[in-house]
Amino acid sequence: MKRILFVCSGNICRSPTAEGVARHFIETSGLESAFEVDSAGTQGYHSGEPPDPRAIKAAAQRGYDLSSLRARKLEITDFQRFDLLLAMDRGHLEYMVRNSPEVYHRKLALFLEFAPELGEDEVPDPYYGGLNGFEYALDLCEKGVDRLLGGALDGR
């Protein structure tokens, strides 16, 4: 089983969106025995809270349910437990590199590195914008998850 953790700042916008999309992909593709996904934030100021209502709304309009997810802070044990820790932007990746033992650095990457055809390497933070920013983040998460997990269906 491959364990994947999506990481953003507060774990209420980008990383739970990626987690929700990935969970949906895994369930609808019958890959529950192949993947485990979760999300976390580099900061703990939203710990225990549900995703941002705008993220929940944008996701629900496309058939993804984020309502049961709860924010949590990235922990040192996450570096041990997960096979791949995917940052939503360079700042998150730098944080993970600084706060993990070097032995785990090979597990760290930018999420959108798996979808280079997008021409983007970061999922922009939609928090301070309107619903369009959440829609765009969701677009990127859908494409990134498709490329990340889609290879499992192609035998890659």
Cite the active site residues: 8, 14, 125
- Nearest by Cα to 91 from 118, 68, 47, 122: 122
3 state SS of 43: coil
Are residues 78 and 6 in contact, defined by beta-carbon separation less than 8 angstroms?
Answer: no
Helix or strand holding residue 40 (H, E): strand 35-41
Alpha-carbon span 10 to 16, nearest angstrom? 10
Residues 111, 122: Cα–Cα separation, whole Å: 7
Whole-number Å distance between alpha carbons of 154 and 16: 26
Tokens of 7: 């990481």
C-alpha 54, offset from chain centre: 16
